[in-house]
Amino acid sequence: MDLDGSEQDPEVKEYSPVCVGREDDIKKSKRMTAVVHDREVVIFYHKGEYHAMDIRCYHSGGPLHLGEIEEFDGRPCIVCPWHKYKITLATGEGLYQSINPRDPSAKPEWCSKGVKQRIHTVTVDNGNIYVTLSKEPFKCDSDFYATGDFKVIQSSF
């Protein structure tokens, strides 16, 4: 319920920005986790840019907040600590290397599986970090682990 006593549209509320912390803190820690409208996200600060995504890996629910950031094909990626899948920070694409089996001399090339991890919007206002959940209507693989029984990260990670 709003301050004026009226009910807020649940959809509007779900996509309103949520303050998750201070800019000074994430610049030191380089990453933070937060719950935004019942959805767990990880926020990275990498090379002067902020990136937010679902915290659990689209492949099998691995804890992306514990992964390392590496560059592949010039694109910063979070490498999932469970099975080493590579996910671009900017777009949530799954990257993989492929080679043409009919051309034994060919070098492996980086390819995209498409967007697999849902990316959310980060904004900064007056030193505060805000995350706004993605409203993109497509079905993203990471949605499976961001909802239902899987949505809570277990403390054993």
Nearer to ligand FES, 59 or 120 (CB): 59
Choose the stretch contacting ligand FES; rule: CB under 6 A; options: 5-13, 58-66, 104-112, 126-134: 58-66
Q: Which helix (H) or strand (E) holds 130?
A: strand 128-132
The C-alpha atoms of residue 80 and residue 65 are separated, in whole angstroms, by 9
For residue 37, the tally of other CB atoms under 10 A from its CB is: 14
Q: Least distance (Å) from ligand FES to the CB of residue 83?
A: 3
92 sits near ligand FES (criterion: CB under 6 A): no
Please answer whether residues 131 and 146 qualify as being in contact, where contact means their C-beta atoms are separated by less than 8 angstroms: no
Comparing CB distances to ligand FES, the nearer of 36 and 94 is: 94
Backbone angles phi, psi at 13, to 5 degrees: -65, -45
> Which residue lies nearer to ligand FES by CB, 62 or 92?
62
Residue 73 to residue 2: CA distance in whole angstroms: 47
85: contact with ligand FES by CB under 6 A: yes
Query: Which one, 82 or 144, has the nearer CB to ligand FES?
Result: 82
Strand, helix or coil for residue 64: helix
Contact residue for ligand FES among 62, 118, 129, 140 (CB under 6 A): 62
Report, in Å, the least distance between residue 81 CB and ligand FES.
7
